[in-house]
Structure 1
């Protein structure tokens, strides 16, 4: 760098200065930076290093007007950031596309090449920036999915591809299967489908792929966990591909989770408890808390009116109904029913819940081994 040297724009000047600072082991502080001028000082007090550049109107070019290159040396570099290290890595990675670059290798190579101390985080960010320069951003890649699927369908007869977006039209998940794979699976393959997740590292994570015996078919979901909606959506699209298949068997990684779920509840069911399960008991207790200062008036032998300072409720104990519909809808006694039971001097509210919420049913559900 020298006085009267010009650069195409301010970004090129900043990159060149950052690269120089990294190589020569010094650090600088920005004093002025706007569309017309750019001024830097060495961050060490009393150091005379200084650079001043201005824009050559009416172009975007910047010319160095003042440059004092006397400086102090720094062993570590805050300017060894992704925008300085990334382009260097980009050139190296472009020539060796087959190699998988790991941050530890980048850290080692940059330390040897530039003779600087780069930490793991700097190396990781530099790699991500270099990959973006090499392959484009994640957003650009996802925006090209419709074009990619369209062209793939033209070259692969029978290919199935779907893209699902959220209400704001942002990418949510996609499903695709090559046509030849569908035909081969129906005609020649054992009817076993293995479903598993393959998680990526990057801005767009939780990417899942599903393989039929071998992971050569890759419907995938992005930014979605293994929720019920994801599984339902995937299986609906899968059904469109394979149709009715009586011998079809699914293999997933959920077997251990299901087994653990059942074992845990079998142990819980063996503990001494009240009539209701722990969860149902908490719901009923919460409903009871709301009945403070409520009042009850009898309408007939089995019908009661509960005053709750809002809409109130009429409870029919014989028909097991309440005008608030909570009792019928959930199978658990609402606050109005609980208030009637209190009025009748009954303290066990669990008997008014559905049998499905009782500990007896809970134990029976998980009594068989999995």
Structure 2
């Protein structure tokens, strides 16, 4: 009797998902490549090594690495098919297991990846190379170097999640289904002159509808992507009345430059109109300031006080004792309190006072902000969203 091996629908990377624990005469493999891959995993899982005795386009013969051992397998190509069928199989080992090598000859990075790919599927946090080294040592008795564990991590991620090129290829159809299943969702894809991906924008319908209940302060920031094609993830987020983070929109761009921020804010403007009571909080990047001045003329652009504080720590080290006063001044509720604190800063270090004045007190102080910033003095909202999405 022959048994067909099942493959997940639509997947060509099924190595880590097929059960090969039961080998028997008549077992059918998709093709020779698949069989070779499965047999390597089988050898690692069962702690033995084999060598290829014969291999061509019609037959595949394996023997235990110990020539005196009885274990062997012979498979041939099925007629009118690329499939390979096990014709002869002796499952018992007569070799001494104590002689088996920790540095397993079948334990390539790709083979090991097939054994742990389930740890990378379904949004799970990926395992680190050192964690994989422990799994391979404890569960399979195989010692691997850090570099091999790192390569296994990369291959396992590809097996479970696909490769970046495939993800970009299906992005238009994925966006289409997102819009279909989530009413009110806005998506946008921009390609270059060679019809290759350049920018992608996504705002879920639920986020768009719910923004009217949020505080009208939007934090914007970018985070570097670490896939093959790099790029940057731009995010816009807000905060509700209970201080909870509220994601609004995302974009994948090449980098944080004038063109990418302009594209992101133009898309954002289609769902959040330009208003005088709207506030954007970001770092002091010139590309953000330029894009905001073009797309959100009436909205107020505030800068992140944490980012400003870090600049002051580097630039005015001699006036470190005044920096806590700068912090208090930025968060003062009334202009009277702000003026009192700012006078102390200017008297203590005129250069620091002038620098802060030139930075525009409307941008970094709550008291002089033209619009209500509430408690949102940093772009921590956007950074927190990016941090939450980092592993994914």
Q: TM-score range by the shorter chain?
A: 0.5 to 0.7
What is the aligned-residue RMSD (CA, Å)?
4.3
Question: Greater Rg, structure 1 or structure 2?
Answer: 1
C-alpha displacement of 1:28: 6.3
- 1:54–1:65: 8 Å Cα contact kept in structure 2? no
Q: Give the corresponding residue for 2:178.
A: 152
C-alpha displacement of 1:175: 0.8
C-alpha displacement of 1:251: 2.0
Between the aligned partners of 2:192 and 2:84, the Cα distance in structure 1 is: 43
- 1:25–1:75: 8 Å Cα contact kept in structure 2? no
Secondary structure of the 2:249 match is coil
TM-score of the two chains, using structure 1 as the length reference: 0.56
1:55–1:100 distance in 2 versus 1, CA, 3 Å: closer
1:75 corresponds, among 95, 102, 115, to 102
Secondary structure of the 2:259 match is helix
Between the aligned partners of 1:56 and 1:157, the Cα distance in structure 2 is: 50
1:196 corresponds, among 217, 221, 224, to 221
Q: Give the corresponding residue for 1:220.
A: 251
**Structure possessing the higher relative contact order (Cα contacts under 8 Å, 6 or more residues apart):** 2
Worse-superposed segment, 131-140 or 194-203: 131-140
2:199 corresponds, among 147, 170, 173, to 173
1:123 corresponds, among 131, 146, 149, to 149
Between the aligned partners of 2:119 and 2:268, the Cα distance in structure 1 is: 42
Between the aligned partners of 1:190 and 1:209, the Cα distance in structure 2 is: 20
1:7–1:152 distance in 2 versus 1, CA, 3 Å: closer
Between the aligned partners of 2:110 and 2:78, the Cα distance in structure 1 is: 24
1:232 corresponds, among 262, 284, 302, to 262
Trace 1:1-370 onto structure 2 (pairs within 5 A): 7-8=28-29, 9-23=31-45, 34-38=56-60, 54-59=76-81, 60-63=83-86, 73-91=100-118, 100-185=126-211, 187-213=212-238, 214=245, 216-222=247-253, 224-254=254-284, 370=359
Q: Give the corresponding residue for 2:14.
A: none
- 1:13–1:62: 8 Å Cα contact kept in structure 2? no
1:248–1:2 distance in 2 versus 1, CA, 3 Å: closer
- Structure 2, unaligned stretches of length 5 or more? 1-21, 239-244, 286-306, 316-354, 360-392
- 2:208–2:248: 8 Å Cα contact kept in structure 1? no
1:92–1:175 distance in 2 versus 1, CA, 3 Å: closer
- Structure 1, unaligned stretches of length 5 or more? 265-365
Between the aligned partners of 2:127 and 2:236, the Cα distance in structure 1 is: 27
C-alpha displacement of 1:15: 2.1
Between the aligned partners of 1:6 and 1:132, the Cα distance in structure 2 is: 27
Between the aligned partners of 1:198 and 1:137, the Cα distance in structure 2 is: 20
